[in-house]
Chains A and B, each alone.
Chain A
Amino acid sequence: MAVVLEAKDLNKNFGAVTAAANINVQIGRDSVVGLIGSNGAGKTTFINMVTGYLKPTSGSIRYLERDITGLSPRQITRLGICRSFQIPQLFGNLSVYENLQVGVGVAARSARAKASATAEEWEEIETLIERFNLGGYRTHTAGLLPEGTRKLLDIAMAVAGKPQLLLLDEPTSGVSADEKFRLMDMVMSALKVQGVTVLFVEHDMEIVSRYTHRILAFYEGRIIADGEPEAVLRDAEVRRYVIGEHAPMHQDDGATNHG
């Protein structure tokens, strides 16, 4: 298995708070990995460290055998790691088409392609619009889109950067229960065509077990379980600290607070 991403002894502290403790993990090419854990467990901190938004207190991150610890988000994006956001980060006053145009344009610029719009670039944008089913919103202002569409656009913009590793931060948060699967089906089929390794943070266990090959369960900054979805979701610690199955309240008040 070719390793795309490797974190070694990764630690991150915010003062006395430990957001990541001794994280050791390898992510193989073409895999879809789910990151689960309660709020504050360290999932987003992990993503923020991989994408360069946060510098680890200690430890190293290697991407395709290259040390990327401490590089800026911009440098890391240029190496082929792109991300989407829990709260979609769009260009609110631009149209859906223009949002994608910026994304495709930056990627083309980094690849030292022609300085202005070409038919090739147009085709790329159209492909994204089609794959993410954004055709009906082409000229709509991004800031006024419904939440599910904002999520799709946010992910499409990350994909516009032609990533080899894509990190999705809670792709279905804020999306209605009956739209979740439709959205994930669309995203996953779009990503399959691209051949991207995907790491995504998710709270919905149904989504995680349906779309991932592997799950990393976080608790208090540590990875408490790592393996195939079924095994991880059966794990006693995961059931207790992540999924929230507890012993009766009066017996274990301390543990319930974590759930």
Chain B
Amino acid sequence: MNQTVSIQKRPPAQGTDRTTIVLLAALVVLLVAGPLLPRWAMFMLNVSLSWGTVVLGMLLLMRTGLVSFGQGLYYCLGAYAAGALHHFYGIADIMVMLLASLALAAAVAAVLGLLLAKYRSIFFAMLSLAFSMILFGLLVKTSALGSTDGFGLSAKTLAGITLGERWERYALFATTVVVAFCAAFGVHRYLSSHQGRLAGAIRDNELRVEYMGASVRRVIHVNYVIAASLAGIGGGLVGISIGHVDPEMAFWTTSGEFVFIAILSGTGSVLAPFLGATIFESVRSFAYEYSPNTWQLILGVTMLLVIMFLPGGLWSVFTRRKAA
């Protein structure tokens, strides 16, 4: 026993870990390769990384033991916040639009989180779903916001710098890459902080967490706001990228797709949601291209295969190899 103790007697390595290295490498590669990418690939990566950012928030909630079936609420709010700035005030700056997405989603989550932090399991899932459907209903009935059609938007500047048509697309791509990187790095650091580590503890035993002197409800509330902020900013990015927002973004099927990606990805690493979102987006695009009437079938089969052979999600491919 003493031998084991003496072997382990060194503080854990500080500094850069493997996840951070992969994140940094991905950041550099994507930023450098961006201008060389064909238009379709850039668009697909834009959407995948934005969705990955949304699912990253879900990873945080799932680590806390909660599955939200209503992230579409914040995804849609983020998109509409960005869109409304352009639509009503003519503001077309990517940074300002994304800040609005983030702020609106965080503010709404701060209020709704007070209520949601009291619920667990299916009740949490259904209540979050209910809120997203309320937003859907409101948007559909609001003609000023385009009702079921929504409205268009576009971004022309980045932090006040006017972009030519040639750079517009790359600027949005680079912003998406940087946002996704910051989100992943931030969540990664957060999960290794005192507060972040409580996520897994809460999932396992709330009673003990309270008896250790931490507030379960407060941690859940904070994690919920972080998840919503990520969904908001992801929605803003997708809105700008597609150039259009509509109430479907708050519809339950959108939230369902986020749950789909989260299960597909697994919660093993902050990198998993981006991998999962990219695979989901690729499978969906190609399935739609080659099998326009039965593309859902292909997605369903993919999901079935993952659940049967990789119950811990795609990320377990990497952790399994490590364990072997």
Q: Does A214 reach chain B (CB closer than 8 Å)? A: no
Chain A residues, Cβ within 8 Å of B293: none
Chain B residues, Cβ within 8 Å of A91: 200-201, 204-205, 208
Asked whether B198 lies within 8 Å of A161 as measured between CB atoms, the reply is no
A74 to B210, CA, bound (A): 5
Chain B residues, Cβ within 8 Å of A158: 211
Asked whether A109 lies within 8 Å of B204 as measured between CB atoms, the reply is no
Q: Does A90 reach chain B (CB closer than 8 Å)? A: yes
Q: Does A129 reach chain B (CB closer than 8 Å)? A: yes
- Residues of A111-155 contacting chain B, CB below 8 A: 115-117, 119, 122-123, 126, 129-130, 133, 135-136, 138
By beta carbon, the residue of chain B nearest A97 is B8
A117 to B12, CA, bound (A): 9
Number of interface residues of A (CB under 8 A): 41
Asked whether A102 lies within 8 Å of B212 as measured between CB atoms, the reply is yes
Chain A residues, Cβ within 8 Å of B212: 77, 82, 102-103, 106-107, 157, 160-161
Chain B residues, Cβ within 8 Å of A73: 210-211
Chain A residues, Cβ within 8 Å of B189: 116
Total A-B contacts with CB atoms under 8 angstroms apart:
96
B2 to chain A, nearest CB (A): 7
Contact with B along A153-188 (1 / 0, CB 8 A): 000011011000000000000000000000000000
Q: Does B214 reach chain A (CB closer than 8 Å)? A: yes
Asked whether A108 lies within 8 Å of B194 as measured between CB atoms, the reply is yes
Interface of B is mostly: helix
A253 to B138, CA, bound (A): 72
Q: Does B11 reach chain A (CB closer than 8 Å)? A: yes
Given contacts A51-B211, A136-B1, contact A106 B194 (CB under 8 A): yes
By beta carbon, the residue of chain A nearest B9 is A126
Contact with A along B5-25 (1 / 0, CB 8 A): 100110110000000000000
Of the residues B8, B195, B210, B214, contact of A135 by C-beta under 8 Å: B8
Asked whether A93 lies within 8 Å of B4 as measured between CB atoms, the reply is no
A73 to B215, CA, bound (A): 10
By beta carbon, the residue of chain B nearest A122 is B11
Asked whether B204 lies within 8 Å of A93 as measured between CB atoms, the reply is yes
Q: Does B207 reach chain A (CB closer than 8 Å)? A: yes
Contact with B along A55-80 (1 / 0, CB 8 A): 00000000000000000111001100
By beta carbon, the residue of chain B nearest A93 is B204
Given contacts A77-B212, A106-B213, contact A130 B5 (CB under 8 A): yes
Of the residues B11, B194, B208, contact of A115 by C-beta under 8 Å: B194
Asked whether A129 lies within 8 Å of B205 as measured between CB atoms, the reply is no
Chain B residues, Cβ within 8 Å of A82: 211-212
A136 to B5, CA, bound (A): 8
Asked whether A78 lies within 8 Å of B197 as measured between CB atoms, the reply is no
By beta carbon, the residue of chain B nearest A84 is B211
Of the residues A93, A116, A123, contact of B200 by C-beta under 8 Å: A93
A-B contacts, 28 of them at CB < 8 A, read A51-B211, A73-B210, A77-B210, A90-B204, A90-B205, A90-B208, A91-B200, A91-B201, A91-B204, A91-B205, A92-B205, A98-B200, A101-B197, A102-B197, A103-B212, A105-B197, A106-B198, A115-B194, A115-B195, A116-B193, A126-B5, A126-B8, A133-B1, A135-B2, A138-B8, A157-B208, A157-B212, A160-B212
